[in-house]
Structure 1
């Protein structure tokens, strides 16, 4: 069997003032052709999971292109065309193929397109003969539309949030493709949606109200004929008309069963909509607790999460720490900040030097103003490390030139490139051990729990400002179809 593999992976946020260009992909990776077979190293993400299944079955993988840009503003159309054009050209050259596997996010947006993943699938389908199965893996926060339900296409979403099953999702997708080619399965899809926007803070699948819905999905898969039941609480920072919760079910030849299962899961989520509202506290209260209570307090700076498309450069937390006297405290406080010019200035001064820096809002200039700080350069690194915690374990992370600045008892881990703050490596790689601090801020709404929960005495989520604000009632939606929960009383 000859199976083509490709991936164009980015999560968009329509509330940020910047776009994602080619550099956004190059800052992470663009793997072309055979580089896709080895370029992931030991990373436990979707493409390696797919490859493992294909190799075990004796199938021939035909690598196309894998490009990843993390999260950010909508992707420039010209960049999308360049990447997709390359992938399609390689697919055309590889024909004939028996099947296609695509690892996509599901919440990418372009300057002129709200559903580019469906466009990718359509353009792939146009090159292969009708009847060629196409298996697609999606992030749990995908924005799923009816356009996705295309002939010969099935979709498998992550089961877990925090996202600790990326590799396993790749495996599940590849296995179903092989079963389809062997005639053992006949996947059919059904979609059900509800007008609700779920904050990622309380959208976890291992605990909380959504966990009950996830458990029902797993029970459906165990009972059959449901093959995969995927929940999509959606990336909430997309100002799209059709934004909302989706349940997408793949059944074995039984569309009515798929439709009934999708409707049941969507209804279960809807019934829990009030319980899904997040528990947030003011950042000032989080700081007070962290500095006064024993043990480590880990706090989500939820409004400025690069994993949701923010620039990671908002200084609201730093201002609050200084106002609270954290720089004069007896115990340490850690926070991160993305600021390429500040990292360069620290590097130019060198370790041990005292520097005056303008910090913050390098990317989000319309969302606040920088602040001047004087601190000591404590460490410098190239920003490269390997993720070790649950999630994208084994993935090589690239933060660009990075520096640690000490302001009394405050440690600011400054980096040049926005990226996931899922892993404790964002601190450990620059010489900061979270266990040495009283207070650690992480720019992540929920995924960080998988890494920090074993270390923390308590975990808090601060209601901080920014383009990933987790209080949905504060997000400035203009285009989303109303009424929608929790913006409206329904």
Structure 2
């Protein structure tokens, strides 16, 4: 048995001005051929899962490419075509394969195509003999369209948000491919969608209103009604047509049953639409609560989340902390900021030095101005650390040259590149214990809760500005299909 494996991931944010090119992918990773077999070390993600399942049955693995740009602006057509040429070239050059496994995100937008994943699947399928099965794993935040339904293609989405089942999703996808090749299963897909977008801070699968829909999806699977039921509340920072809450259901040979299940789950989401309103706290109030309350207050700076496409260089939190007197509060406040020039200057000055810097908004120049600070350099490093919290445990983060600065009682981790802010390592790896802080800010809408919540006395989501803001009404949509809830109040035909 020969199975090809590949990964092409990027989560697009159309509200940021920059474009994602080939160098953007290379800055995260672009691995080809045998590099896929060893390049992920102990990371609990999809490609290692594909490899483990295929090796367990002694299948021959045909590695294609693994390219990831995390989250950023629209992908250029040139970069996309280059990556597809590499993937398809390796596939055609490898000789016949029995099946293909692809790890995709689901929300990649190319300059001339708002549904890049459907194009990826189609371009892979067109060089395969008819009937060759393709198994695709998707992130729960995918923007899924009817074009995803293609012959001999099945999809399996993450079941959890925060994303703690990336490896397990890879396992589920690979096992279904093996069952398909053994003719024990005949996966068929159905799709449903409702005109609803959900703030990621209200899309946690363990909390209502999504939790009850998730339970129904798991019940359908447990009873054998369907093979896989995947929910896609979608990441909402996409200004593209047909945005909404999607459902993909995979059944064993029964399309009608799959469609019935998909419609039921989509209707459950629509019926609960008013329950998806996020619970947000004004930034100044979040700081006030943190400085006067016992224990550590963890605050999501969701508006500047790099895993949603933000530049991670907004000074909204830093400016508000200084205005609130947090630098002389007698208790510590933590935050991160991307500023390569500032980090370079601090590193050049050396540990113990006092530096005057203007930090922030080197990339998001239209959204604010740098803030002038005087700080003492506490430590310097290459910014490399290994994630240890659930989900992406084992993944190595490369955030570039990094300096930890003390602005009185404020601790600023100044880094050169954006990186996942899912893991407590964003502070702990650089000598800052979460439990020592009165306030710890995290540029993430929800995933950070896996590692931070057990250490926190309370967790708040600040209504911060930026291209990943958690308040959907702050976004300036112009291309989405209207009406769209919660931007518009309306009813659907046949629904309350």
Matched residue, 1:61: 61
Q: How many Å separate the matches in 2 of 1:475 and 1:446?
A: 19
**1:129-177 CA deviation, whole Å, 9 max, x = no partner?**
0000000000000000001100000000000000000000000000000
Give the secondary structure class of the aligned counterpart of 1:216.
Answer: helix
What are the equivalent positions in structure 2 for 1:386-465 lying under 5 Å apart? 386-465=386-465
* 1:332 maps onto 2:337 in alignment: no
C-alpha displacement of 1:315: 0.3
Q: How many Å separate the matches in 2 of 1:175 and 1:196?
A: 32
Q: How many Å separate the matches in 1 of 2:27 and 2:451?
A: 24
Q: How many Å separate the matches in 1 of 2:279 and 2:112?
A: 35
Q: How many Å separate the matches in 2 of 1:421 and 1:393?
A: 13
Q: How many Å separate the matches in 2 of 1:305 and 1:184?
A: 43
Matched residue, 1:9: 9
Matched residue, 1:211: 211
CA RMSD of aligned residues (A): 0.7
Q: How many Å separate the matches in 2 of 1:29 and 1:45?
A: 14
Q: How many Å separate the matches in 2 of 1:187 and 1:15?
A: 36
Matched residue, 1:163: 163
Matched residue, 2:134: 134
What are the equivalent positions in structure 2 for 1:114-133 lying under 5 Å apart? 114-133=114-133
For structure 1, which segment, 182-191 or 112-121, has the greater mean C-alpha deviation from structure 2 after superposition?
112-121
C-alpha displacement of 1:225: 3.2
* 1:89 maps onto 2:92 in alignment: no
TM-score (normalizing by structure 1): 0.99
* 1:487 maps onto 2:487 in alignment: yes
What are the equivalent positions in structure 2 for 1:317-396 lying under 5 Å apart? 317-396=317-396
Q: How many Å separate the matches in 2 of 1:82 and 1:480?
A: 28
Q: How many Å separate the matches in 1 of 2:221 and 2:51?
A: 24
Matched residue, 1:235: 235
Give the secondary structure class of the aligned counterpart of 2:454.
Answer: coil
C-alpha displacement of 1:296: 0.5
Matched residue, 2:226: 226
Matched residue, 1:200: 200
C-alpha displacement of 1:419: 1.4
Matched residue, 1:314: 314
Give the secondary structure class of the aligned counterpart of 1:303.
Answer: helix
Q: Does structure 2 retain, via aligned residues, the 8 Å contact 1:27–1:417? A: no
For structure 1, the 5+ residue unaligned runs are none
**1:211-252 CA deviation, whole Å, 9 max, x = no partner?**
110010000001113000000000100001110000110000
Q: How many Å separate the matches in 1 of 2:380 and 2:23?
A: 23
Matched residue, 1:284: 284
C-alpha displacement of 1:344: 0.7
Q: How many Å separate the matches in 2 of 1:436 and 1:389?
A: 19
Q: How many Å separate the matches in 1 of 2:372 and 2:446?
A: 30
Give the secondary structure class of the aligned counterpart of 2:150.
Answer: coil
Q: Does structure 2 retain, via aligned residues, the 8 Å contact 1:166–1:391? A: yes
Q: How many Å separate the matches in 2 of 1:134 and 1:464?
A: 41
Matched residue, 1:179: 179
Q: How many Å separate the matches in 2 of 1:314 and 1:111?
A: 26
Matched residue, 2:265: 265
C-alpha displacement of 1:205: 0.4
Q: Does structure 2 retain, via aligned residues, the 8 Å contact 1:27–1:398? A: no
C-alpha displacement of 1:270: 0.8
Q: How many Å separate the matches in 2 of 1:476 and 1:213?
A: 29
C-alpha displacement of 1:22: 2.1
TM-score (normalizing by structure 2): 0.98
What are the equivalent positions in structure 2 for 1:74-113 lying under 5 Å apart? 74-113=74-113
For structure 2, the 5+ residue unaligned runs are 491-496
C-alpha displacement of 1:309: 0.5
C-alpha displacement of 1:23: 2.4
Q: How many Å separate the matches in 2 of 1:235 and 1:86?
A: 28
Q: Does structure 2 retain, via aligned residues, the 8 Å contact 1:188–1:250? A: yes
Q: How many Å separate the matches in 2 of 1:353 and 1:76?
A: 42
Q: How many Å separate the matches in 1 of 2:206 and 2:383?
A: 31
